[in-house]
Chain A
Amino acid sequence: MQTVIPTTSKAIASLLRADFTTQWRNRRAVILIVLVPVIILSSWKGLVDKLGGAFVLSNCITIGLTAIGLMGYANSIARDREKGVFQRLRVAPVSSWSIMCSRLLVQLAMILIVTIAVFVAGFYIDKISIEPAGYLLAAIAAIAGGALYLSIGQVIVGRIQNPETVNSTCRLVYFAFIMVGMFGELGMLGAEVTKIVRWSPYGVVRRIVSSSLQPAHWNRDDTTALLITFGYTLVFAILGIKWFKWSSK
């Protein structure tokens, strides 16, 4: 009897079809992830002149990226692990990295959807217009920033097995990032917090997205922020993968 091993592309195509279908059927959750930054964007309409379009857009994109990594990715991985979805896939002739690659590609699409939604809403609601290169570079920066939040989500599902505890932890971390990150950057929580937030995962991602929107103003601090983003991502991804267990049993 001949042994048939599917090609990687065929296996990933099948996994992607299933994962995108799952994401589509969860479109209410997707809409909520997109809606939060758009609502903040419209509520900050009056502050655009004071804070600058790039600052407003980058804050909203960062909030969206936080939601994707913590609320979307981590929760879906925790739920499917608990249900045994991964174990069922892992006994098929498909590599573990293909399974995760498919999941991450869905999240990549989510990052682009949120980023584009913020750009569109920013243009129509807040009348923020950026040069085309700025939009393109900011989308790339959003992918880099999104990878950081996905790696934080990976750490949470790596350390915590129970999906309900993962959910509550993610909500807590999400809330902390938004409140401390957003208000801290605005200087509302004191100078010390502002300094800490600047180089926190929230601060560096917001900074690289903001500076990418105005590439002409890119400076050494922005490069440092980009390198720190990569550093955070690498450390969290290594820890998250090391601690991750495919089964919660």
Chain B
Amino acid sequence: MEIKNNAPILTVEGLNVFYGDLQAVNHVAFEVRGGEIFGLLGPNGAGKTSSLSAVEGLIVPQSGNITVAGFNTKDKPLHARANMGVQLQSTSFQPELRVGEIIKLFAGIHAIDMPAEKLNALLSNIKLGDAVNKKFGQLSGGQQQRVSLVIAMLHDPQLVILDEPTTGLDPQSRRQLWERMEDLRTQGHGILLTTHSMEEAEAVCDRIAIIDHGKVIATDTPQALMDKHRNDAEVIAASRKGKITLEDVFIGLTGKTVRS
């Protein structure tokens, strides 16, 4: 997979996040370029969600710089957010609202007109043409993800943040989502993806960063990481099938201990 050498859409520099005395994110730095899928991987509690929340503007970091499409998230938070589309891991919409109403709400807060024809076309495009009057909770997991992605992409953002988007999806829905991500990459969007699935990271990510104990411990292409660490004792010990996979490298670098 060839890395696109486009200009960075997201730049994170020296990011530090504390919760009281606990440092959740420790001088994290990475960038996501246009036309690339960048994976942020890490065990539970490693600092992924805190880093992502800082990028999304949901928490205020103690220090560090985050720039989205040239806008600093501290100085121009609304401009930065207007250039990102976010699909949160545990997001929901008001359960009383119908799919069409939810899309209209988000179109409105992005200053986008959403006449009925455009709405129907959007939903038909994701094979949910009959869902306009359904409540979000009535959709299957895969259908909910498709609607969430449509909402995240309504304003054609330069940066797309997908937080564990395939969790709980069946293989067909997961493959379909991967294809959508790849379409977005082709269109030049930068995608920041978090996932616990090493198979997914290996399949779709152009580059990945592995984060543990709040620090980025490795950043490279999946293949380069496997090549670089294939002879590490911890990685060989983690290998189950004789062939080194990205998961073996991940376990080798972050350890076998189950995190809370």
Contacts and interface: CB of A to CB of B under 8 A. Distances in A.
B81 interface: yes
B18 interface: no
B93 A85 contact: yes
A87 to B, nearest CB: 6
B97 A3 contact: no
A87 B97 contact: no
B58 A93 contact: no
Interface in B114-173: 155-156, 158
B58 A247 contact: yes
Nearest to B92: A83
Contacts of A6: 108-111
Instruction: Indicate the member of B79, B107, B111 with the most A CB atoms within 10 Å.
Output: B111
A3 B69 contact: yes
A7 B110 contact: no
Interface stretch (B82-90, B216-224, B231-239, B252-260): B82-90
B200 interface: no
A236 interface: no
A25 interface: yes
A83 to B, nearest CB: 4
Interface string B40-62: 00000000000000001110000
Nearest to A83: B92
Contacts of A249: 90
Nearest to A90: B58
A168 interface: no
A21 interface: yes
B88 A84 contact: yes
A19 B92 CA distance: 15
Contacts of B83: 1, 3
B207 interface: no
Nearest to B71: A3
B96 interface: yes
A6 B97 CA distance: 22
A157 to B, nearest CB: 16
Contacts of B110: 4, 6, 92-93
Interface in A56-93: 80, 83-85, 87-93
Contacts of B93: 85, 88
Contacts of B86: 88, 91
B178 interface: no
A216 interface: no
B88 A87 contact: yes
Nearest to A84: B91
A2 to B, nearest CB: 10
Given A85-B94, A88-B86, 10 more contacts: A4-B112, A18-B102, A84-B88, A84-B90, A84-B91, A85-B93, A90-B56, A91-B58, A92-B106, A92-B109
The 4 closest A-B pairs by CB, nearest first: A14-B108, A6-B111, A25-B96, A83-B92
17 contacts: A1-B156, A1-B158, A5-B111, A6-B110, A11-B108, A14-B108, A21-B96, A84-B92, A85-B91, A85-B93, A87-B88, A88-B86, A88-B91, A91-B84, A91-B86, A93-B110, A249-B90
